[in-house]
Amino acid sequence: MKTGIHPDYRPVVFQDANTGTAFLSRSTARSERTVEWEDGRSYPLVVVDVTSASHPFWTGADRIVDTEGRVEKFERRYGRRVRRGSREG
């Protein structure tokens, strides 16, 4: 790898904005905020909207998807559209 052109890849703490759950990982994400981690060291803190701690799929609170397909729902709402330049034949 060329030196001086890649961002710094370092330990970073990610915190879920909804649940407050935090985890230590490595990233190139930059942040001015820092947090003291369990090991006593200070790491950059990146607050994110969704993590596995709050995402419905991972928490088991996944909503039930109705049996109607997305295409059918779109066509019902907006009508069937004909593409310009499409070949029918």
With contact defined as beta carbons under 8 Å apart, do 42 and 11 qualify? no
Within 8 A by CB and 6+ apart from 14, the residues are 22, 23, 25, 27, 46, 47, 48, 51
Strands (E), the chain: 10-16, 22-27, 34-36, 42-48
Q: How do residues 13-69 score in pLDDT, each as one tens digit?
A: 999 998 899 999 999 999 999 999 999 999 999 999 888 888 777 677 755 555 667
Look at residue 70 and give its three-state secondary structure. helix
